[in-house]
């Protein structure tokens, strides 16, 4: 079977133990479609590919588990990269979630205290920023002991009324505090598994958690995070995807150089490298992180590293450039930008840098919360020419591409 738990060894050693479960075993009878609604096509992709892709971009594809029915004839045709497709579909959504969670726990992909995000296959418009907000708030609430987890939700803005059995308005309902509950919903794996076993008939995970005595917090999300249920919803998704396909793009370019001196550490791309000489500077002199910082700031027109972190400010003496990069990225991300990729060149006659490239890419990616695959670092010597070639210093260049929906 395709996509079946290919990379569980990675999951066992993963630092960040957050898993996503997508129950996708329903038939979507209200869509008037001959294929289950998760397999409806939007352009080149099915709804399930779009939905799962959102979670995969936040958590990594190997952390996404999709529960389909035993007889599913469509899923093997999809491009789900390293996501895991399990034939764990049950008679209800709750049963599919419980079965998929149990299988993920059985494989060692998740343990009781790890976080699990459960997300409807039919919500392809969820914003990645909302998923990140949900995870951050869930971690905060769980650590503080104030809630068992959180759900994405949309405050009700319409006037709400109840009708009687004949269809006449019979009761005005105060909309204050009313929410439409969406997904993902985020809880600890063990608590969720227990709650679902105690309450198998619920329509969402937060109901199970609450019926088992837990408290659930609400995290506001983009109202476009609808559940595709009626044919008109599919039209809404198509229009929105068309809009999303019109991306703003910005390129940024950064350059830096630092002198080589004895008695200093050689820190590059956030990685300390053994060398007889080190890089001189006011901060830790990480010329690669400085070039990336400037490229990011430049692309978003947020100034430059010298303005944000002046080299005559004692606050930045010996500063960790990883912290400076994170601060600069926070300012850029605040404007809604996301990183498509970063490509860098380091010119240094010595030391040999290629063995350190994977560690640099991992470090840079973790600071910026992106995949290491989006970061390229290419070391070059300068054929003994210029200050780099004479080992008086090194220089770096970085290009970044930022994207944002219009």
Q: Which residue ranges make up the site for Mg ion (CB under 5 A)? A: 256, 290
Identity of the residue, 107 or 255, whose beta carbon is nearer to Mg ion in the bound complex: 255
Nearest distance, CB of residue 325 and Mg ion, angstroms: 11
Nearest distance, CB of residue 287 and Mg ion, angstroms: 5
Nearest distance, CB of residue 279 and Mg ion, angstroms: 9
Element (H, E) at 195: helix 189-198
Q: What are the strands, taking DSSP E only, across 179-237?
A: 179-188, 216-220
Identity of the residue, 120 or 294, whose beta carbon is nearer to Mg ion in the bound complex: 294
Nearest distance, CB of residue 264 and Mg ion, angstroms: 13
**127 alpha-carbon distance from chain centroid:** 10
Identity of the residue, 250 or 290, whose beta carbon is nearer to Mg ion in the bound complex: 290
Q: What is the CB neighbour count within 10 angstroms for residue 245?
A: 10
Identity of the residue, 39 or 329, whose beta carbon is nearer to Mg ion in the bound complex: 329
Q: How far is CA 377 from CA 5, 255, 317, in A?
A: 31, 14, 26
d(CA 324, CA 331): 11
**79 alpha-carbon distance from chain centroid:** 19
Q: Shortest CA distance to 362 belongs to which of 14, 1, 23, 12?
A: 14
Identity of the residue, 214 or 254, whose beta carbon is nearer to Mg ion in the bound complex: 254
Nearest distance, CB of residue 359 and Mg ion, angstroms: 20
Query: Measured at CB, which residue is nearest to Mg ion?
Result: 290
Residue 108 gets the label, from left (phi > 0), alpha (psi -120 to 50) or beta, of left
Helices (H), 245-286: none
Directed axis angle between helix 321-333 and helix 357-368, to 10°? 40
Nearest distance, CB of residue 256 and Mg ion, angstroms: 4
Identity of the residue, 96 or 321, whose beta carbon is nearer to Mg ion in the bound complex: 321
Torsion, CA 306, CA 312, CA 316, CA 322, rounded to 10: 30
β-strand partners of 161: 172
Structure letter (DSSP) for residue 366? H
State the Rg of the chain over Cα: 25
Residues 6+ apart with CB under 8 A from 57: 128
36 in Cβ contact with 133 (< 8 Å): no
Nearest distance, CB of residue 266 and Mg ion, angstroms: 14
Nearest distance, CB of residue 186 and Mg ion, angstroms: 39
Identity of the residue, 3 or 290, whose beta carbon is nearer to Mg ion in the bound complex: 290
Identity of the residue, 76 or 304, whose beta carbon is nearer to Mg ion in the bound complex: 304
Structure letter (DSSP) for residue 166? T
Nearest distance, CB of residue 281 and Mg ion, angstroms: 6
Identity of the residue, 205 or 256, whose beta carbon is nearer to Mg ion in the bound complex: 256
């Amino acid at each position: 079977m395709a996509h079946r738990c290919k990379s569980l060894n990675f999951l066992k050693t993963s630092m960040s133990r957050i898993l996503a479960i997508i129950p996708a075993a329903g038939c979507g009878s209200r869509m008037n479609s001959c294929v289950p609604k998760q397999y409806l096509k939007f352009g080149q992709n099915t709804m399930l590919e779009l939905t799962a892709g959102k979670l995969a971009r936040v958590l990594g594809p190997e952390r996404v588990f999709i529960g389909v029915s035993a007889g599913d004839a469509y899923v093997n045709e999809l491009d789900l990269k390293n996501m895991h497709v399990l034939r764990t579909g049950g008679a209800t959504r709750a049963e599919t979630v419980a079965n998929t969670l149990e299988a993920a726990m059985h494989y060692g992909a998740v343990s009781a205290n790890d976080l699990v995000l459960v997300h409807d296959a039919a919500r392809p418009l969820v914003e990645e920023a909302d998923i990140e907000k949900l995870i951050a708030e869930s971690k905060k609430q769980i650590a503080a002991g104030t809630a068992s987890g959180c759900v994405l939700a949309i405050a009700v803005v319409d006037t709400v009324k109840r009708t009687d059995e004949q269809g006449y308005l019979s009761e005005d309902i105060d909309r204050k505090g009313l929410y439409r509950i969406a997904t993902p919903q985020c809880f600890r794996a063990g608590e969720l598994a227990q709650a679902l076993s105690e309450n198998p008939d619920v329509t969402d995970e937060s109901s199970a958690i609450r019926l088992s005595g837990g408290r659930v917090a609400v995290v506001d999300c983009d109202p476009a995070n609808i559940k595709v249920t009626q044919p008109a919803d599919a039209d809404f998704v198509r229009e929105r995807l068309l809009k999303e396909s019109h991306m703003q793009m910005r390129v940024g370019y950064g350059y830096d150089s630092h002198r080589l001196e004895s008695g200093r550490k050689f820190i590059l791309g956030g990685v300390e490298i053994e060398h007889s000489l080190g890089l001189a500077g006011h901060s830790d002199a990480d010329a690669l992180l400085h070039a990336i910082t400037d490229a990011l700031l430049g692309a978003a027109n947020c100034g430059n590293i010298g303005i944000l972190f002046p080299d005559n400010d004692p606050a930045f003496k010996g500063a960790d450039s990883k912290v400076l990069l994170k601060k600069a990225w926070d300012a850029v991300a605040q404007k809604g930008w996301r990183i498509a990729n970063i490509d860098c060149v380091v010119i240094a006659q010595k030391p040999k840098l290629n063995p350190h490239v994977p560690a640099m890419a991992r470090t840079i990616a973790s600071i910026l919360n992106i995949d290491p695959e989006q970061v390229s670092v290419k070391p070059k010597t300068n054929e003994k020419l210029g200050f780099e070639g004479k080992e008086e210093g090194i220089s770096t260049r970085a290009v970044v591409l930022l994207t944002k929906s219009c």
